[in-house]
Amino acid sequence: MSKEDLFNSMTPETMRSRPGLKWGRDPSPYIPLFIAAPDFPIAPEIKSALIDAVQREDLYYNTDTGTREAMAEKVARFNGVEATADDIMVIQGVDPSIWLAANYVCQPGDEIVVTDPSYGPFTEVVPKVGAKPVVWELDLDEGYRFDVEGLKELVTDRTKLINLCNPHNPCGRVLTREELKGIADVAVDNGIVVISDELWEDVIFDGREHVSIASLNPEIERLTVTSWGVSKTFGVAGLQLGYLCTKDEEMMAGFKGLARLIQRGSSTLAKAVAPMMLGEEMDWWRKGLKEHLHKIRAICEKRLDEMPRVTYPKLQGTYAMFPRFDYGKSSKELADYLREEAKIGLSNGAGYGKRGEGHLRMIVATSEAIMTEVLDRMESALKKLD
């Protein structure tokens, strides 16, 4: 199969023939679009490197120094943050960085800024550390703009952490340099730490640039914990590989203290593939992924535009579309209805916060044929509600 065809190659049958939660849960003709994992094959380079590591029996106790060096090189080259291996911690995906930042930074009674809508763990972590959420509302009708003046009004002397997601799941926003500068100024002026989840950095549209907030100036660099992973770009969530960067040595020591005994660097299999995945060798994959997703986005937009009571934010980044359905039904009712009537599985938008009510989240990283089938089924099911 040519490299161009890879991203368009999957069928429900081929996806079901592979083990995995997304396609493994429900039988045919159900089509799942709820887990944020792509329907693509695994890149040949990743498979070979994993097989090679097993052949070499690289499964003993090991060190993650080489992995962290490769990560630091990528963070300096791609994210514009001059990191060394000591500034990097290997973690099991991005979620642990959200937990580490909140636990290190916050005391009971402190406040954490969380957007609404928001990726679930950002909200979930707040009560776990006895903190209070400061809800920063994002509005679809304003294009999910990050209103920095609004943020300034929310911040108090108890605000210790800003939970930032860029590109933003589920709003599909890629934050502009101006928005990020505004957030950075608020953080620096008030000594607030920022946790910046940049897991979706490779999935951006229309030639936009991904800007890491930590790269803006030395003051915000010192206040920021940035985390990344490989699950969204390469569809390898099963490797459970993420990494964070902080240039604040005390914060890194604090994270290590918190993580000790529950976290032991990366697995040797993750180590075998991380440098290659983060290097320029896999840029062909990133390019192909983006090209394919532009086609899928165009298909979705054309079809959703033909559905009269559906509004959606134009995807700037991520492959999670977040349309709003004005059918007088709650997100849960609508998700249940589409599941029964159309046999398609979308996530309940209310799970992303109050402002997600009325929305469903739809993962569109799939083949053109699967996407078209989903939209056909959705359209006929919605027509029955008219």
Binding site for ligand PLP (CB under 6 A): 36, 93-95, 119, 165, 169, 197, 199, 229, 231, 237, 242
Instruction: Give the closest residue to 354 by CA, choosing from 141, 164, 115, 154.
Output: 115
97 or 331: whose CB is closer to ligand PLP?
Answer: 97
Backbone φ and ψ for 172, nearest 5 degrees, come out as 70, 15
The residues that bridge with 321 in the sheet, in sequence order, are: 362
CB 143 within 8 A of CB 313: yes
Residue 158 CB, shortest distance to ligand PLP, in Å, is: 25
Nearer to ligand PLP among residue 270 and residue 370 (C-beta) = 270
Nearer to ligand PLP, 117 or 182 (CB): 117
3-state secondary structure of 294: helix
> How far does Cα 376 stand from its chain's mean position?
27
Where would I find the H helices in 131-191?
148-154, 177-190
Beta carbon nearer to ligand PLP, 120 or 329: 120
Closest to ligand PLP by CB, 242 or 323: 242
- Smallest distance from the beta carbon of 170 to ligand PLP, in angstroms? 8
> For residues 36 and 375, which CB has a smaller minimum distance to ligand PLP in the complex?
36
| Shortest CB 104 distance to ligand PLP, Å | 18
Spatial distance between the Cα atoms of 197 and 189, rounded to a whole number of angstroms: 21
Cross-strand bridge partners of residue 293: none
CA–CA dist 248, 281 (Å, integer): 30
Output the smallest distance, CB 229 to ligand PLP, in A: 4
Name the closest residue to ligand PLP (Cβ).
93
Contact 80, 48 (CB under 8 A): no
Nearest distance from residue 94's CB to ligand PLP, in Å? 4
135 φ/ψ sector (left φ>0, alpha ψ -120 to 50, else beta): beta
Indicate the residue among 32 and 229 with the shorter CB distance to ligand PLP.
Answer: 229
Kindly state the smallest distance separating residue 379's Cβ from ligand PLP, in Å: 27
CB of 125 to ligand PLP, least distance (A): 12
Whether 136 and 115 have beta carbons less than 8 Å apart is answered as yes
